[in-house]
Structure 1
Amino acid sequence: MSVGAAVLPTAGTPEGIFLFVPHLADLVWGTICFLVIAVVLVKYALPRFNQVLDERTAKIEEGLALTEKVKEEQTGAEARAAQLVEDARLEAAKIRERAQTEAEKILADARAEAAGEANRAMEAAERQIQADKQAAQISLRSDVGLLATDLAEKLVGEHLTDTELSGRVIDRFLDELENTPVSPAWSSRAGTVR
């Protein structure tokens, strides 16, 4: 067969637009098969397909409803949590305020007690100082009196036997000694005598 014979159409072969038009027998059998398949699909497959779609739609709607419910619960939980945080903050502020009040009260009580202790200690110290001062004055009077008596005996040259007279002389000497102003040189060396 030559090249030209392959290109030329044979006698029963359609050409042009008829190449795409089916034969009548093919058209009839194709339509019958299509209808049989369509009836089977509509009668058996479509209801099952619709049932699966309905189940999925129901599950999706149920999931959406559950999601909405969870969102509402979450919003409520967040509101409750915010309220709890606010309540806790207010309670903490009250506790802090009570603690400050109690601390101030304890501090004031401690200060008052310390002041009382300090006053008692000062009073005790003053009493002790007064007692020591009186004891020193008595000791000083006694020592000065003995010295004055010894001095008077040495000046007079006789022993003083009259104790009343000696006491009066000693008291007068001590009174004069107390009333005599102290010179600065003496006060810086020995201190003031009272």
Structure 2
Amino acid sequence: MLNALVVVAAEESSNNPLLPAWYDIIWSGVCFLIIAIVVVRVALPRLNKVLDERAAAIEGNIAKADEAQRQAEAALEEYTKQLAEARKEAGDIREAAREDGKRIVADAKAAAAAEAERLTASAHAQIEAERQAALVSLRGEVGTLAVDLAGNVIGESLSDDQRAAAVVERFLADLEASEKAAK
């Protein structure tokens, strides 16, 4: 047995410990070749398919994002345009409201002036009517007083209505003539 150990030790000493045996290299190469064929034929196509699908999904999402961005920009432009139109319309409405306000104020002033003129004319007419009534009343009273005074001055009674009326008319005519001359 000692011989067997020496033989095995001698055989082992001739082999390089860093180099494997030739059968290990062959079997390792066959296993590597089988695994490489399986990877190239089965795993790589599936991996490429998954990567292609992922790339297509990413490109689709990028395209969708670009489309969404274009739509957002279009919506923003539309919104900006509508906002500008709304501001212009609001300005037009404000201007129209100012014009309507000015017109309403002018109409109210004109109506107030017309009403004031009507009231003034009515007041003048009423004053003139009251003046005429006062004149008629005053003529009657002045006539009666003038007849009584004339009767006292003359010393006789002026009870004759025609005669008294003629004296009163003459007195009032003289009074009006003296007023016009004084003016």
Distance in 1 (alpha carbons) for counterparts of 2:113 and 2:19: 124
Corresponding residue for 1:188?
none
Residue type at the aligned position of 1:23: P
Residue 123 (structure 1) aligned with residue 121 (structure 2): yes
Residue 161 (structure 1) aligned with residue 159 (structure 2): yes
Corresponding residue for 1:63?
61
Percent of paired sites with the same residue: 42
Q: In the TM superposition, what are the counterparts of 1:107-122 in structure 2 within 5 Å?
A: 107-122=105-120
Alignment partner for residue 54 of structure 1, among 44, 52, 55?
52
TM-score scaled to structure 1, two decimals?
Answer: 0.71
Alignment partner for residue 99 of structure 2, among 94, 98, 101?
101
* CA pair 177-109 structure 1, distance change in 2 beyond 3 A: closer
Residue type at the aligned position of 2:91: A
Distance in 2 (alpha carbons) for counterparts of 1:90 and 1:137: 69
- Kindly indicate whether the alpha-carbon contact (under 8 Å) linking 2:143 and 2:168 is maintained by their aligned counterparts in 1: yes
Q: What are the superposed Cα offsets for residues 133-173 of structure 1, whole Å, 9 maximum, x if unpaired?
A: 11111211211221232233344443113445434543565
Alignment partner for residue 20 of structure 2, among 17, 20, 23?
23
Residue type at the aligned position of 1:96: R
Corresponding residue for 1:183?
none
Residue type at the aligned position of 1:115: A
Residue type at the aligned position of 2:75: A
| Matched residue SS, 2:74 | helix
| Matched residue SS, 2:157 | coil
TM-score scaled to structure 2, two decimals?
Answer: 0.75
- Give 1:49 shift: 0.5
Q: CA RMSD in A?
A: 2.9
Corresponding residue for 1:144?
142
Give the structure, 1 or 2, with the largest relative contact order (CA under 8 Å, sep 6 or more). 1
Distance in 2 (alpha carbons) for counterparts of 1:56 and 1:28: 39
- Give 1:40 shift: 0.8
Residue type at the aligned position of 1:33: C
